[in-house]
Structure 1
Amino acid sequence: MSNTDQQEFWSDRAGPSWIARQSQLDALFQPVLDLVLDSADLTAGMRVLDVGCGTGTSVAQAADRVGASGHVTGIDIAQTMLGQAERTFSNRTNVSFANNDAQTYPFDLEQFDALISRFGVMFFSDTTAAFANMARGLCKGARLTMAAWGPAPKNPFFMTPAAVAKTMLGPLPPVDRTLPGPFAFEDADRILPMLRDAGLTDVAVQSVDLALTPAGDAATLARLCCDIGPAQSALQHHDATAQDRANLEAAIAAQFAANDTAQGLRIPACINLYSARKPA
């Protein structure tokens, strides 16, 4: 099955917005990347596959951990985002990038010692087929470590803007969260059998509560939410005016202001940390 819709979305719609706000998004999601890298237990000399690497921050930080004797390959379906990664990290000798669909890419057999992903595995049209294909490229015993969003109600970064936008602008068409998208992996009971059917072993999930770390104040975060995510979708769907957007930003900021701390904004999040191995 093809991921054409996701390719078009991340290349043509979401990709440019993500690149424009890359520093903000990297800061926001750094705790999630730390969780993946710490859990993956990467060591010097390892060859790592980073799935859905986007603009490459995760590739670079993984490369720091495996050192000059190791190598990290980032694969992403979106040329727009991968082009940014290639430009940013062109001076790194232990990284490379592949603009392709990990669900169908013809990986060399037993090429990688580990697979990691920060929010990159929730968008396959056929999850089982995708993991079976990626496993071809993994060495025997290689570990997979992947972060995905946990249950939507436990993730106010999405749900707060969505609720405020619904109140102020009106509802959006219903969304099936089991389809490829941010919350496709929220139900671990649905996903774990897919990973096992792909031939993986030691399949497990850990629900991790952490705090996202946005840069700037609540107003800055509200502007980001109106550029990316459900609030942006609501503004577009309802053909909102500039004043509508200003009002929405102010209302979202008022909600997030409750998450201000002495260390800055801290937005609660629930992350599903999936792990598995290729059979030895």
Structure 2
Amino acid sequence: MQAANEEQAEFWSNSPSGAKWLTFEDQMDELLAPVLDLVFDRAGLQPGMRVLDIGCGTGASTVRAAEIVGETGHVLAADFSQPFLDRAGQRAAEKGLANIDLQHADVQTHSFVAVDRDAMISRFGVMFFEDTVAAFANMTRALKPGGQMTFAAWGPLNGNPWFKTPHILACARLGNPPPMDRNAPGPLAFHDHERVSGLLEQAGLTDIRVEQVPVSLRIRGTIEDCATLCTRIGPAARLITHFEGDAEDVLAIQAAIAEAFQQYVSANTVEIPALINLFQARKSK
């Protein structure tokens, strides 16, 4: 495993920030449901297919794929985080799904069975590799000739106030973190769709397509509930951790986010606009 991938694995498996995804699983699944719908709408999975789910998280995508492909199909779900995989296994068991296997793996280097999968899917699970070309080439080896990848990544920062606004407000309170390369492994690493399309081509994929799709991220509850979630998961949460913000800092940032996001309140729901990069590519036949 490469050093940067070790860092990502540590973050998602053992850090308090990664653990919060388990704590707030229901809220995050609801928030990101439109993105998962987009992936499945484009992926075109069918009964009997063998699917590779990359960065499966706590299993929302895995369970849905397994239900679609049915008893004659199969889903192999891979993730950095063993706690996430454990939770995904629980969700599969609760649904009585026996057509799922879970793999704790660094997808950049893991030895998948070659020419074994009809399709690969991912919701926000492929932006974390030190060597993106190597990672996609490795995934491609698992696909059958003509097999299709379909994956979602966050689009440009300006189109995603869920990221941009809490980051700006947390910086205003706590200060600016060290500058980062926006293409470095992390949630926004695939914002530049032209760059990523080039990486997919270098990895040997063909028929590369990308759509920039606007969606609405929904949080049921009050604007305060939304602001609280923003200080638990996402860029504001990372800044609070980095600067060791105290309870007063957290409350101040929450209040600022609530004011900024007031424009997105509708009835008992907060609907935040987002811009998603939806990629598709095929293994050559």
Q: Say whether the fold is shared (TM-score over 0.5).
A: yes
Match of 2:10 in 1: 8
Q: Residues of 2 paired with 1:219 and 1:85: CA distance?
A: 29
How far apart, CA to CA, are the structure 1 residues paired with 2:89 and 2:68? 19
Query: In the TM superposition, what is the alpha-carbon distance from 1:262 to its structure 2 partner?
Result: 3.9
Please state if 1:37 is matched with 2:40: yes
Aligned to 1:235: 240
* 1:254 aligned onto 2:259: yes
Equivalent-residue separation in structure 2 for 1:230 and 1:263 (angstroms): 24
SS of equivalent residue, structure 2 residue 125: coil
CA shift digits 1:25-72 (9 cap, x unpaired): 000000000000010001111110000001111100111211222111
1:176 match: secondary structure: coil
Instruction: Name the TM-score, length of structure 1 as normaliser.
Output: 0.97
Q: How does 1:60-79 map to 2 (within 5 A)?
A: 60-79=63-82
Q: How many residues align?
A: 280
3-state DSSP of counterpart to 1:213: strand
Distance in structure 2 (CA, Å) of the matches to 1:203 and 1:263 = 40
Q: Is the 8 A contact 1:15 1:80 kept in 2?
A: no
Which residue does the alignment assign to 1:27?
Answer: 30
Query: In structure 2, how many angstroms separate the alpha carbons of the residues matched to 1:137 and 1:230?
Result: 33
Q: In the alignment, does 2:93 pair up with 1:57?
A: no
- Partner Cα distance (1:256, 1:61) in 2: 31
Answer whether contact 1:112 1:139 (CA < 8 A) is retained: yes
Residue of structure 2 equivalent to 1:274: 279
CA distance in 2: counterparts of 1:106 and 1:57, whole angstroms: 24
Tell me, yes or no, if structure 1 residue 107 matches structure 2 residue 112: yes
Tell me the distance in 2 between the aligned counterparts of 1:73 and 1:15: 22
Question: Any unmatched runs of 5+ in structure 1?
Answer: none
TM-score by length of 2: 0.95
Letter in 1 for 2:6: T
Match of 1:245 in 2: 250
Q: CA deviation at 1:188?
A: 1.2
Give the root-mean-square deviation of aligned CA atoms.
1.2
Find the partner of 2:176 among 171, 177, 183: 171
SS of the equivalent of 1:104 reads coil
Gaps of 5+ in 2: none
Which string of whole-angstrom CA distances, capped at 9 and with x for unpartnered residues, describes residues 210-239 of structure 1? 111123221111111111111112222332
Percent same amino acid among aligned pairs?
Answer: 47
- 2:129 aligned with 1:124: yes
CA distance in 1, matches of 2:118, 2:241: 43
Tell me which residue corresponds to 1:138.
143
Identify if the C-alpha distance between structure 1 residues 191 and 36 changes in structure 2 by more than 3 Å, giving closer, same or farther: same
What is aligned with 1:87? 90
Contact in 1 for aligned 2:222/2:268 (Cα 8 Å): no
**Counterparts of 1:154 and 1:28 in 2: how far apart (Å)?**
16
For the residues of structure 1 that align with 2:83 and 2:267, how far apart are their CA atoms? 37
Amino acid across the alignment from 2:20: S
- Do the aligned partners of 1:15 and 1:81 also contact (CA within 8 Å) in 2? no
Q: Deviations over 1:178-216 (max 9, x none)?
A: 110011110112111110111110012110011111232
